[in-house]
């Protein structure tokens, strides 16, 4: 992946799912800081996640490679953050 410097407080999109945070590829967050990997691996990005009304709902850390700057050819979408349980069979 091309190394792109993302300015602090920029909106970014995820390019992979993070089920542990209930985040999906394409979700948008705000880049708020970088954390170095203690073992010289990939740095992490600290992101603040907001709901559709602009209310902060989580702060998460993801690998730098999982984040991309927003592009002018992308369209924003909305999805529910609720996790729907599958109906029990039987």
What is the reported pLDDT for 38?
87
76, part of any domain: no
Domain holding 21, by residue range, is 11-69
85, part of any domain: no
What is the reported pLDDT for 28?
97
Distance CA 21, CA 73 (A): 27
pLDDT tens-digit profile of 34-63? 999 888 899 999 999 999 999 999 999 999
2-6, 18-22, 45-49, 52-56: which range is least confident on average? 2-6
58, part of any domain: yes
The torsion angles phi and psi of 61, rounded to 5 degrees, stand at: -120, 130
Number of domains in the chain: 1
82, part of any domain: no
21, part of any domain: yes
87, part of any domain: no
If we measure between CA atoms, which residue out of 36, 38, 37, 61 comes closest to residue 48?
61
For the entire predicted model, the pTM comes to 0.82
Residues contacting residue 36 through CB under 8 Å, at least 6 positions apart = 43, 44
Mean pLDDT of 8-28: 96
79, part of any domain: no
């Amino acid at each position: 992946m091309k190394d792109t410097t993302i300015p602090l407080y920029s909106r970014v999109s995820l390019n992979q799912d993070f089920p542990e945070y209930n985040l999906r590829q394409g979700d948008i967050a705000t880049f708020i800081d970088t954390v170095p990997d203690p073992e010289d691996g990939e740095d992490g990005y600290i992101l603040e996640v907001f709901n559709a009304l602009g209310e902060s709902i989580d702060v998460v850390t993801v690998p730098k490679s999982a984040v991309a700057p927003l592009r002018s050819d992308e369209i924003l979408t909305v999805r529910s953050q609720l996790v729907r349980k599958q109906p029990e069979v039987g």
